[in-house]
Amino acid sequence: MPKAHLTQTFVDRAVCEVGKAKVDFYDTIISGFLLERRSSGKGTYSLRYIDQGGRQRQHKIGGVDDITCAAARKKAQQLRSEVVMGGNPAAAKALAKAIPLYSELAAKHLESFKGRKSYEDVESVIRVHLLPRWGKTRLTDITSRAVGQWLDEKRAKGLSPASVEKLRIVLGRSFVLGASWDIPGTEKNPARGIPRAPLNNARERFLTTEEAGRLKTAVAASQNPQLQHIVGLLLLTGARLRELLDAKWENVDVERRSWFIPDSKTGKPRYVPLSTAAVAIIEALPRFKGCPWLVPNPETRRAICAEPLRAGNPRIWPRS
């Protein structure tokens, strides 16, 4: 067990004794601080100590090619002080390694969302945005400051305020779920307390005369008997297509000229006022016995799928 005052000069000259796989050089100043030099030429700084249970432990500080001897000495002194105060650097290191990566938490997050309407949206946010940035990061290393800077970068790259807010919400939700599952590292939610930019993605858009003419021609040529009602109500109410296709008679009050949407895109229910023209379309809609939908497929009496309508397909498809 050779001893020496470990300095950069000594480390540069130290070699493994011929015939041995490695040799340990113990520092004469800091108890337990050592240089391990192998026959391959590689060297490593470590601190050996006895823990409170009487067992010998070794904490690796770093390789000689990665850190200077002075930096290693400083770290060794810090670790030694921790040991003297009753700490256990090896246990703390093991605990840090036990903290999951965000990719592991994200997988559990998505697993819990399977079957929900929002699954595809959440999966896209995690896959496209969260995993590339945070996937290989341990949960305790994801700080509010780092998340805030990352969101600022997203805004600077042109992502809308609402989209940036969605990233914050999904990341925060991962930590909320993790805390409910007692996953280490989720005790503090880094998405909380971050200032949010005002959300105003609204765009005012009106059809030109030419566009209105083309739309009228397309609707007239459609084989879908409900399309004229759907287009008319969308233009008069400003509702989303899925909201209208999911609309039920029980949520429409013609007398009060009000349409109740229980599940909007924001997740909150809302009321849509109905104009005289909108009421006229609703009153002219065909009603089918036992069918709750406002504008159903007249053949199947089921809600219409939105995708064929967006693609310009004139057929009526039942929603699966």
Q: What is the pLDDT of residues 138-168, one digit of tens each?
A: 999 999 999 999 999 999 998 888 899 999 9
pLDDT greater at residue 223 or residue 164: 164
Task: For 264-281, write each residue's pLDDT tens digit.
Answer: 666 678 899 999 999 999
Concatenate the DSSP letters of all residues of 154-170 into one string: HHHTT--HHHHHHHHHH
Q: Is 52 within 8 Å of 88 (Cβ atoms)?
A: yes
pLDDT digits (tens, 9 = 90+) for 2-37: 899 999 999 999 999 888 999 999 999 999 999 999
Higher pLDDT, 88 or 7: 7
pLDDT, position 269: 85
Give residue 12's pLDDT: 93
Residue-wise pLDDT for 179-205, tens only, equals 999 998 999 999 998 877 665 555 556
The Cα–Cα gap between 246 and 302 comes to 10
Distances (CA, A) of 72 to 2, 10, 34, 166: 19, 14, 10, 43
Q: Is 316 exposed, middle or buried (0-12, 13-18, 19+ CB in 10 A)?
A: buried
- Which band of pLDDT confidence, cut at 50, 70 and 90, is reported for residue 38? very high
The model's pLDDT over 104-115, given as tens digits with 9 standing for 90+, comes to 999 999 999 998
Q: How confident is the model at residue 319 (pLDDT cuts 50, 70, 90)?
A: very low
Geometric angle at alpha carbon 180, from 108 and 101, rounded to 5°: 45
pLDDT value of position 65: 93
pLDDT at 317 over 50: no
The whole-model pTM stands at 0.44
Mean pLDDT, the chain, whole residue set: 86
Tell me, what's the pLDDT at 204?
56
**CB neighbours of residue 234 within 10 Å:** 14
